[in-house]
Chains A and B, each alone.
Chain A
C-alpha cells in the first residue's frame, strides 16, 4: 500500500462545502415567477441581485414597527432605529473584517463611495500628482478620477489589458511611481469576470507611499473579502448586488485616513458644531453621512449580510466556481460564440461576457427575454473594455448563489434559437 504524503506547507483543502441550491432558491420569491410564459431564468445578478424573503421582511418589519429618524431622537422608536442602523454598520464591518465599525461609511451606492474618495481625499492633489486606474474599470471608477484631474491638474494613468482579459502588469513599476498618490482598480471586473491579483500592485503602492483603493462591487457579494488580508486602504461596494436593497452602498477606509479627509457633502449629522461664522465636523463615519441616511436600506443590507454568512461565503464561492466551469464549457459548444475574459474558471468570477457572430447583443437579449432568460446587453458602463477588444457591445450572463446549471442550459438553448433567427 502506498501512502500519499502531502509535503509540509501544502494546504489541506476542506471538503466541498455543503450547499443546497434548491433550498436557497426557495428563499427568493421572485424566482417562482414566469416571464413571457416561461419560468424566469435570471442571469443578470452582476447588474442587481434578487432579494431573499429575509431581506424583504427585515425592511418591511422596520417600516411597520420601528420607523423613526436616526441619531437625533430621544424617543423609543428613534432609539430602536438608531440601534438597528448601527447594528447594520457593525455587521458590514465584521463581514469584511474591518477593525472598527467607524471605518464603514454608508453611501447611496458604490459610485458615491468612489466619488467621495475622489472628491475628499483628492482635494489635496496638485499638478504633477498622479492617479492610476485601469482599462478594466466601470465608468464609476473612471469618470470621478477624470473630473478630479480636471479640477486639480493631476494626471490620470492606467493599466492596459492582456488579450486574455487580465491586467497587464508588465509596466507596474513605471506606472506606479513616486508621483502616484492613489491607485484605484477594480477587484472583480463587471464585464470580463476577471478577479485581479493585487499582490504586485500592493507591493509597488507601498514602495512608493501611495494608497490603494479597490472597487469590490463584484467581489464582496460573491466571495469572502478581508480588508486586512488584502492590505488595502479603501474599498467600495454596493448593497443591491449582494441581496440587499438599492440605495445603500459602502465606503470602507482606514480610520486614520478617513479622519484626515475633509467632508464631501455638508449638512445635518456630519457636524460637531455649527456657527454662522463657520463649522467643525464630526469624526468618520458621521462626517461623511450628511442628512438622513438610507435607514431601512442599511437594515436590509444588514439582513443580507446575515443571510450570506448563514449560507457561508466559501460555499457560495464554490457553487459559483462550479457554475462558471459548467458555463464556460457549455458556451464553448455554441458555434460562433466568443467569450471575452478568462476562459478558465481560475482567477475569475461567475460573470461571462460574449459576442455571437453576426448578431447584435440587443437582438440576442430580446430573443432570450422572449424565452424568460434575462441577460444584460450593451457596453455595461465599461466602454473602454469594448474599445480594447473592438466590440461595440457584449451580451453578459452573470450568476449568483441561486443560479442552477439548468438555467445555463436554458441560456444555451436560447442562443441556438437566436442563431436560427438572425444568421445571415
Chain B
C-alpha cells in the first residue's frame, strides 16, 4: 500500500494551507454535516447568484482528507456555474466509488483528481465525500428557498 498515493502533495498542501476557510456573508444556505463514525464535521455556506456559485465558505474539523477536500471545493467552484459543479460532482462521486478503477478527468475535476488514491482506501472515502455532500445539500436548499 503506497501511502503517497493517498496523501498526494496537493492534498497535504490544501490541508496545511486551506482555501476559502472561514464562514462568510452573505450566503444563500448553510449546512452542517458530520461523519458519525469518526467525528469529522463541516459547516458549509454557499452563495449562488443567478446560475453562478459566487462563494463557498466553510469551517470544519477533521482529518487531512476531509479538510483538504473542502478547500479544493472552494477553489474549484467559486465563480463557476451550477452546471459545471453538478458535472464535477457526479464525476467525483463516481471516482470515489470506483475502488481505483476509474481514470479521473483533470479537465472536469481540477485539483480534485488528487483524491483518486483515496478511492483505494474504503475507510477514507467518506472523509473525502463529506464536504462534497454538504455542498450538494446546500445548493439544493438554495434552490428550494429561491
Contact = CB atoms under 8 A, between A and B. Distances in A.
B64 A363 contact: yes
B129 to A, nearest CB: 14
Given A360-B62, A362-B127, A370-B3, A424 B16 contact: yes
Contact of B65 (A362, A383, A392): A362
Interface in B1-17: 1, 3, 6-7, 12, 15-16
B6 A366 contact: yes
B61 interface: yes
B38 A362 contact: yes
Nearest to A364: B63
Given A370-B1, A421-B7, A377 B124 contact: no
A422 B1 contact: no
Interface residues of A, number: 19
A352 interface: no
B37 interface: yes
A36 B67 CA distance: 26
Contacts of A424: 16
A422 B65 contact: no
Q: Which of A360, A377, A421 has its CB near the most chain B CB atoms (within 10 A)?
A: A360
Nearest to A367: B3
**Size range of the interface on B?**
20 to 34
A383 B124 CA distance: 20
Contacts of A36: 1
A386 B65 CA distance: 21
B26 interface: no
A362 B63 contact: yes
Given A360-B63, A362-B124, A422-B15, A378 B38 contact: yes
A379 interface: yes
B12 A422 contact: yes
Interface string A386-424: 100000110000000000000000000000000001101
B39 interface: yes
Nearest to A370: B3
Contacts of B7: 363, 366, 421
Q: Which of A363, A369, A392, A424 has its CB near the most chain B CB atoms (within 10 A)?
A: A363
A421 B6 contact: no
B50 to A, nearest CB: 37
Q: Which of B1, B16, B39, B41 has its CB near the most chain A CB atoms (within 10 A)?
A: B39
Nearest to B61: A392
A361 B38 CA distance: 9
B69 to A, nearest CB: 13
Contacts of A370: 1, 3
B62 A421 contact: no
Given A366-B6, A421-B12, A422-B12, A393 B39 contact: yes
Nearest to B6: A366
Contacts of B124: 362, 366
A421 B15 CA distance: 11
A177 B1 CA distance: 56
Q: Which of B41, B63, B121, B127 has its CB near the most chain A CB atoms (within 10 A)?
A: B63
A358 to B, nearest CB: 9
A424 B124 CA distance: 21
A219 to B, nearest CB: 26
Contacts of A383: 39
B136 to A, nearest CB: 23
Contacts of B40: 362, 392
B58 to A, nearest CB: 16
A362 B67 CA distance: 12
B36 to A, nearest CB: 9
B133 to A, nearest CB: 17
Interface string A347-377: 0000000000000111100110110000001
12 contacts: A362-B38, A362-B40, A362-B65, A363-B7, A366-B6, A366-B7, A366-B121, A370-B1, A386-B39, A393-B39, A421-B7, A422-B15
Interface of A: 36, 360-363, 366-367, 369-370, 377-379, 383, 386, 392-393, 421-422, 424
Which 6 pairs show the lowest CB-CB distances between chains A and B?
A: A362-B63, A360-B63, A370-B3, A424-B16, A392-B39, A36-B1
